[in-house]
A and B are shown apart, each in its own frame.
Chain A
Amino acid sequence: MTELKTETITINMGPQHPSTHGVFRLILTLDGETVVDVEPVVGYLHRNHEKIGEKNNWIQNTPFTDRLDYISPMSNEFAYVLAVEKLAEIEPPERAKYIRIIMVELNRIVNHMIAVGFLLNELGCFFTPMFYCLRWRELVVDLYEMTAGSRMMPNYFWIGGVSADLPEKFLPECKEFVDAVPGFIDELERLLTDNEILQMRCRNVGVLPPDVAVEYGCTGPLLRASGVPYDIRKAEPYSIYDRFDFDIAAGTVGDVLDRYLVRIAEMRQSAKIVEQALRDLPEGETATPKKRKFRPPEGDVYHRIEAPKGELGFYLVSDGSENPYRYKIRAPSFVNLQSLPYMCRGHKIADVVIIIGSIDITMGEVDR
């Protein structure tokens, strides 16, 4: 029997589509329900972030970094602040360092909550896991609001410290939250990890072999799920990460299921780190004296951290003036997104959606 002649159709998925995580457009070429080719189109949320960064002075840039990956603002600030501190050789006080770690790891928990929640939502669970995750996120966001004054755009990290000391109520509430995190994750896992439909949907979908993942420059949970236990917190410990005891979660196959499990395992590890940081939190100053502007020495610097989504790096060039001469961001979502066409080819249209969900992108960071 001769093979049936079929025509491919081209579908525009996005920029307004319920599950493309913002204004992201995919041009899908489909053969029936099977994806033949994927062409991502980015740039709908471009807002000149890097150019604005050159116009602002060094200090004014911190609130703008909040808007990069708006799910994990603290991590963005952390990367920028560390880069500037490296350039200007400023050493923040001990207490500030610990506070930063607490904030950033809480942020990782939040980010993974959202990533997992939206992934499950895209699998079709009519918002239930998403609402649970958002509810838990709300608790952390309340902690941010209590400390920094703002829920999503905290602007909390100051070059040379943090903008304010922790409020009185923070420590007990944070402790309570961290103690409760394993319970939350257990509930989330009970809800769906063993679910037959989820296992069927996620298993062997969007497999990214370790060598391909490395070649695409993938980082973060995406790379670790492929079986490469690479984590900048361990590989190149920045700030005070060498003082904490935690493990890197790595997957075995590199499919959507592994990414889901790795994120869940990382949440547990983050809770562990916050617990240690709360235990060791020293007393003392939280910031070096505040200035309106300052001039770092001439030179350039690249500093990278393990943001929840992967390697977040800031490349800053200083010409000795009060503005950066060049301000470049290596955004993890953007780099990770490049592996999307590779993962999608040959799968069904429904898989494309969950593969995007499993990469965990934020368009604010992809387009900048």
Chain B
Amino acid sequence: MEAIQGILEFIDQIFVKLSFWFSAQLANFLPDWGVTFIMMFATVLVLIVFGLASIIWINVFERKIIGRIQDRYGPNRFGPWGLLQCVADMIKLLTKEDVTPTKADRLIFNLAAVAPVIPTFMILAVLPFGRGMVAADLSIGYLYIVAVGCLGTIAIFMAGWSSRNKYALLGGMRTVAQMISYEIPMVLSVVGVLLLVGSLSMVSIVEAQGQWRLPFVVLQPLAFVLYFTAAVAEVNRSPFDLPEGESEIVAGYHTEYSGIKFAMFLLAEYINAFSICAIATTVFLGGWQGPILPSWAWFFIKTYFLYFVLIWMRGTLPRLRVDQLMNFSWKTLVPLALANLMLTALVAKLVPQYSHVGAIAFLVMNVVVIVCIALVKYPRWRRDRREVVLVPRTATPQVDSS
């Protein structure tokens, strides 16, 4: 029994042990600051390589699932089960002509292609991928994520503005409006959780869920839904993919980009989508905690499940319109997030921390909120239901002949 536990423990900590071993090796011939320096570089390198490598199969994963949803197989020609499709795509994108429109603002146009990728990789730094597996356990972890996440907006707006293309401009404008309005519910919905934890650090959020012995999705289901909705909008995924709304404004802000620059935007989009799933996993689904399997496996299982939900939504839902998008954020998500925050603060004061009573109180609170909304909305929904009229006889249209 103990042997098994030892093995599990070893597998669980394999990456941590590897890094310790590596730094110990370095310490043999380097001073302390040198070891720290190189270890930091190594961590950054590992994260970047992980990010790029995960694209290779996230892309195929997404296309295959969308394909299955649509009654087809998806890519299955290149490599076993089409798993190398992304390699083929990359080769194609790399060898494509790199077009810069003559009238474009060259410097910003080129800069904009690189800019979105940097913040996406920076977010990966604070995510706890497993027990003890975090590159930088910042005490202001969540604040850092919000701050860095905002940078992507600027990159997209740069792209939209500098292309000197009207579709791109529309796309850029949409992005700015959308990202600014969805940042607020996204932050507010998590503040409820932060209240319960009492810290902004991502690692302590995960540990707090261990102490509750419940993931926060049980305590804060409403906040989870709000966060997920707002985060999907934040990374421009369907049904909030207005900035690149294919059927309306061709490709939005990256209309004029081709080749490797276009690939950069795709890269940023996929890693962004991955990181919001990872954040949701950390904050609401208990992060790396789970029985038997090693901690990092649990983290990836949960994250990819959320990613599957993202793809599933993309395969099902239509897109919102610009004004409805704004309405939805300011009139639905923000008030709900505020209400959730206030009620959470109230309940958190009233019930003891880390107790079953507390958990039940939080659940009841959420159910009450949802029932209240349903009661308000139901009459209107009844009234607005539309059905066609079936007429057995025809009518001759009357034209006013005057």
Do any beta carbons of A and B sit within 8 angstroms of each other in the complex?
yes
Indicate if A235 sits at the interface (CB-CB under 8 A): yes
The contact string, 1 if C-beta is below 8 Å from chain B, for chain A 330-364, is 00000000000000000011110100000000000
In contact, A124 and B390 (Cβ under 8 angstroms): no
The contact string, 1 if C-beta is below 8 Å from chain A, for chain B 311-323, is 0001111111111
Q: How far is the CA of A127 from the CA of B69 in the complex (A)?
A: 10
Indicate if A171 sits at the interface (CB-CB under 8 A): no
Q: How far is the CB of B373 from chain A (nearest CB, A)?
A: 13
In contact, A128 and B391 (Cβ under 8 angstroms): no
Taking A250-B390, A252-B388, A265-B390 as given, write out 12 further A-B residue pairs in contact, using a Cβ cutoff of 8 Å, ordered by the A residue number.
A19-B248, A33-B170, A127-B70, A132-B71, A199-B384, A203-B384, A214-B399, A229-B393, A229-B394, A229-B395, A248-B393, A350-B319
The 7 closest A-B pairs by CB, nearest first: A124-B319, A123-B318, A234-B394, A131-B70, A247-B390, A19-B247, A229-B391
Q: Which residues does chain A contribute within 8 Å of B315, judged by CB atoms?
A: 125-126, 128
In contact, A124 and B166 (Cβ under 8 angstroms): no
- A/B interface sample: 7 pairs, CB < 8 A: A33-B174, A124-B241, A223-B397, A230-B396, A250-B391, A350-B321, A353-B247
In contact, B71 and A135 (Cβ under 8 angstroms): yes
Q: How far is the CB of B109 from chain A (nearest CB, A)?
A: 20
Indicate if B389 sits at the interface (CB-CB under 8 A): yes
Please name the residue on chain B nearest to A234 by beta carbon. B394
Binds B, one of A107-115, A149-157, A256-264: A256-264
Listed in ascending order, the chain A residues whose CB lies under 8 Å from chain B are 9, 11, 17-19, 32-33, 120-128, 131-132, 135, 191-192, 195, 197-201, 203, 210-211, 214-215, 223, 228-231, 234-235, 247-253, 257-258, 261-262, 265, 348-351, 353
Q: How far is the CB of B328 from chain A (nearest CB, A)?
A: 9
Q: Which residues does chain B contribute within 8 Å of A191, judged by CB atoms?
A: 316
Q: Which of B347-402 contact A (CB under 8 A)?
A: 384, 386-400
Please name the residue on chain A nearest to B249 by beta carbon. A349
Which of B70, B318, B324, B389 interacts with A120 by CB under 8 Å? B318
Q: Which of B174-228 contact A (CB under 8 A)?
A: 174
Number of cross-chain contacts by CB at 8 Å? 140
Q: How far is the CA of A338 from the CA of B316 in the complex (A)?
A: 32
Which of A123, A228, A265, A349 interacts with B395 by CB under 8 Å? A228
Please name the residue on chain B nearest to A351 by beta carbon. B321
In contact, A261 and B387 (Cβ under 8 angstroms): yes
Please name the residue on chain A nearest to B319 by beta carbon. A124
Indicate if B66 sits at the interface (CB-CB under 8 A): yes
In contact, A248 and B394 (Cβ under 8 angstroms): yes
Q: How far is the CB of A337 from chain B (nearest CB, A)?
A: 18
Which of A211, A228, A265, A353 interacts with B388 by CB under 8 Å? A265
In contact, B397 and A350 (Cβ under 8 angstroms): no
In contact, B389 and A251 (Cβ under 8 angstroms): yes
Q: Which residues does chain B contribute within 8 Å of A257, judged by CB atoms?
A: 386
Q: How far is the CB of B111 from chain A (nearest CB, A)?
A: 25
Q: How far is the CB of A16 from chain B (nearest CB, A)?
A: 9
Q: How far is the CA of A248 from the CA of B393 in the complex (A)?
A: 7
Q: How far is the CA of A366 from the CA of B248 in the complex (A)?
A: 22
Given contacts A203-B384, A235-B394, A349-B170, contact A229 B389 (CB under 8 A): yes
Q: Which residues does chain B contribute within 8 Å of A211, judged by CB atoms?
A: 400
In contact, B386 and A126 (Cβ under 8 angstroms): no
In contact, A252 and B70 (Cβ under 8 angstroms): no
Please name the residue on chain B nearest to A10 by beta carbon. B166
In contact, B314 and A126 (Cβ under 8 angstroms): yes
Q: How far is the CB of B277 from chain A (nearest CB, A)?
A: 19
Please name the residue on chain A nearest to B166 by beta carbon. A11
Q: Which residues does chain A contribute within 8 Å of B173, judged by CB atoms?
A: 32
In contact, B399 and A215 (Cβ under 8 angstroms): yes
Q: Which residues does chain B contribute within 8 Å of A9, judged by CB atoms?
A: 166
Given contacts A223-B397, A265-B388, contact A125 B318 (CB under 8 A): yes
In contact, A348 and B394 (Cβ under 8 angstroms): no
In contact, B391 and A197 (Cβ under 8 angstroms): no
Please name the residue on chain A nearest to B248 by beta carbon. A350
Q: Which residues does chain A contribute within 8 Å of B174, judged by CB atoms?
A: 33
Q: How far is the CB of B383 from chain A (nearest CB, A)?
A: 12
Please name the residue on chain A nearest to B389 by beta carbon. A250
In contact, A131 and B247 (Cβ under 8 angstroms): no
Q: How far is the CA of A265 from the CA of B238 in the complex (A)?
A: 29
| Highest count of chain A CB atoms <10 Å: which of B71, B247, B386 | B247
Given contacts A19-B248, A261-B386, contact A348 B400 (CB under 8 A): no
Please name the residue on chain B nearest to A132 by beta carbon. B71
Which of A18, A234, A261, A262 interacts with B247 by CB under 8 Å? A18
In contact, B71 and A131 (Cβ under 8 angstroms): yes
Which of B70, B239, B242, B386 interacts with A197 by CB under 8 Å? B239
Given contacts A200-B320, A258-B386, contact A126 B66 (CB under 8 A): yes
Please name the residue on chain B nearest to A229 by beta carbon. B391
Q: Which residues does chain B contribute within 8 Å of A203, judged by CB atoms?
A: 384, 386
Q: How far is the CA of A228 from the CA of B397 in the complex (A)?
A: 7
Q: How far is the CA of A36 from the CA of B184 in the complex (A)?
A: 32
Q: How far is the CA of A262 from the CA of B389 in the complex (A)?
A: 9
Given contacts A197-B318, A214-B398, contact A124 B239 (CB under 8 A): yes
Please name the residue on chain B nearest to A122 by beta carbon. B247
Q: Which residues does chain A contribute within 8 Å of B250, judged by CB atoms?
A: 17-18
Q: Which residues does chain B contribute within 8 Å of A135, judged by CB atoms?
A: 71
